[in-house]
Amino acid sequence: MHRVAVIGASGFTGAELMRICASHPDLDVAVATGDSMAGREIAEMYPSLAAVCGDTRFVPYGSGVAAGCDLAFCALPHGASQSVVAELRNDVEHIVDLAADFRLDDPALYPVWYGEEHTVPELLAEFVFGLPELFRDTIGCAELVAAPGCYVTAAALALAPLVAGGAVEPTGIIVDAASGVSGAGRPPKANTTFCSVDEDFTAYGLLTHRHTPEIEMAVSRHAGADVQVLFTPHLAPMNRGILATCYARPASTAGSDEVLDLLADAYRGEPFVVVSERSPSTKATLGSNSVHLTARADPRTGWVIVIAALDNLVKGASGQAVQCANLALGIDETAGLGAAGVYP
């Protein structure tokens, strides 16, 4: 049994990590930090975890808090991981970061897309990008893993095989995606209250969303081509889920059957990828670590369309982090992770 620490356990992704680890045969949560909730029972904040957490309380983060653990998950807001990773390395052999602090390999991108300089750019090269279906070989036994964002996971898994296979052009790609409100995190915000979100559907981050360079980096790295993406995210009135609809210009005469076969061949044998003619839905992936994909080629308009659906808190965050942890620790990649969604 591997002892793990969840740094930032009081947020949605932290709570999801604890839920997944509770049924994991090889991961035991030994430490759950939550500075704003320190001293409070986990079950008081998340009654859904009462049966597995008992009277365990959140503890404050401090030097040596993860000592004796094999791995630490960092489920902190963007920017916070940069200040703790160097210290955590003294306590644990492996770190999986769920934030964007170490995803981009070029430090010059951080002030452009995140509005601030990276504080420890020398560590960027030490992190591997944690999208197993595309970069599994680099994650195995890795000490430092940066798990990608939810939008990035959906878009990259949808587009990478088609760009790599020469079916679509690498530039002029459009990604139109919608997310459930949990993607905005637990702390309340004016635009994520019930009255703001209910019966509403809105676009945000127009032309400037920070996941844009991450999508481009992930697809470019896998496909070996310079990819350009116009990404527009939307907020949907639902708790969980990502639905990404991606449009690209064809680079071949492949029809719908051929582009669908290209996806199917790329992910054959992948335990958490479903490729089908069915149009993916967020509810079909609810609570699972799976992503559902489909594709079409439209000769009338000259576009190829690829659609991906996933649960933003599982495959888009905590489930993917556990999948990476499994690989890094050398245990069964699927351990503790469900492929079937919860329905209805």
Domain membership of residue 338 (yes or no) is no
Domain membership of residue 258 (yes or no) is yes
Digit-by-digit pLDDT tens for the chain (344 residues) are 999 999 999 999 999 999 999 999 999 999 999 988 888 999 999 999 999 999 999 999 999 999 999 999 999 999 999 999 999 999 999 999 999 999 999 999 999 999 999 999 999 999 999 999 999 999 998 999 999 999 999 999 999 999 999 999 999 999 999 999 988 888 878 888 888 899 999 999 999 999 999 999 999 999 999 999 999 999 999 999 999 999 999 998 989 999 999 999 999 999 999 999 999 999 999 999 999 999 999 999 999 999 999 999 999 999 999 999 999 999 999 999 999 999 99
**Are both 63 and 90 inside the same structural domain?**
yes
77-123 pLDDT per residue, tens = 999 999 999 999 999 999 999 999 999 999 999 999 999 999 999 99
Give, for 219, the enclosing helix (H) or strand (E): helix 212-223
Query: What is this structure's pTM?
Result: 0.96
**Are both 236 and 138 inside the same structural domain?**
no
Q: What backbone phi and psi angles, to 5 degrees, belong to 162? A: -75, -40
Domain membership of residue 47 (yes or no) is yes
The residues pairing with 59 across neighbouring beta strands, listed in sequence order, are 33
DSSP percent split of the chain into helix, strand, coil, nearest 5: 35, 20, 45
* Sign of the alpha-carbon dihedral angle for 146, 67, 186, 17: positive
**Are both 134 and 193 inside the same structural domain?**
no
Q: Is the peptide bond before 344 cis (omega within 30 degrees of 0)?
A: yes
- Measured CA to CA, the distance from residue 325 to residue 73 in angstroms comes to 9
**Are both 131 and 201 inside the same structural domain?**
no
* Length in residues, the chain: 344
**Are both 126 and 248 inside the same structural domain?**
no
In the set 53, 150, 246, 324, the catalytic residue is 150
**Are both 111 and 164 inside the same structural domain?**
no
Q: What backbone phi and psi angles, to 5 degrees, belong to 126? A: -85, -15
Q: For residue 302, which amino acid is it?
A: G
**Structure-block tokens of residue 145:** 């893993």
First-to-final CA distance of the chain: 34
- Measured CA to CA, the distance from residue 47 to residue 50 in angstroms comes to 5
Count other C-beta atoms under 10 Å from residue 112's C-beta.
12
Burial class (CB in 10 A: 0-12, 13-18, 19+), 236: buried
64: Cβ contacts below 8 Å, ≥ 6 apart: 90, 91
62: Cβ contacts below 8 Å, ≥ 6 apart: none
Instruction: Supply the pLDDT for residue 269.
Output: 97
Domain membership of residue 336 (yes or no) is no
Q: What backbone phi and psi angles, to 5 degrees, belong to 250? A: -70, 145
**Are both 140 and 162 inside the same structural domain?**
no
CATH of the domain at 52: 3.40.50.720
Cα within 13 Å of Cα(339), Cβ side: 10
Q: How many domains does the chain have?
A: 2
Which residue segment(s) compose the domain that 61 sits in?
2-147+315-329
CATH of the domain at 230: 3.30.360.10
CA-wise closest residue to 212 among 229, 225, 199: 229
Instruction: Supply the pLDDT for residue 192.
Output: 87
- Measured CA to CA, the distance from residue 282 to residue 161 in angstroms comes to 21
**Structure-block tokens of residue 171:** 């530039």
Instruction: Supply the pLDDT for residue 209.
Output: 96
69 has catalytic annotation? no
**Are both 14 and 159 inside the same structural domain?**
no
- Measured CA to CA, the distance from residue 58 to residue 45 in angstroms comes to 10
**Are both 143 and 190 inside the same structural domain?**
no
Domain membership of residue 343 (yes or no) is no
Domain membership of residue 299 (yes or no) is yes
**Are both 322 and 207 inside the same structural domain?**
no
- Measured CA to CA, the distance from residue 17 to residue 6 in angstroms comes to 8
Count other C-beta atoms under 10 Å from residue 188's C-beta.
8
Q: What backbone phi and psi angles, to 5 degrees, belong to 74? A: -105, 110
CA-wise closest residue to 290 among 273, 265, 307: 273
Domain membership of residue 335 (yes or no) is no
**Are both 41 and 176 inside the same structural domain?**
no
Contact 117, 111 (CB under 8 A): yes
Domain membership of residue 204 (yes or no) is yes
Q: What backbone phi and psi angles, to 5 degrees, belong to 175? A: -120, 115
Cα within 13 Å of Cα(195), Cβ side: 1
**Are both 154 and 292 inside the same structural domain?**
yes
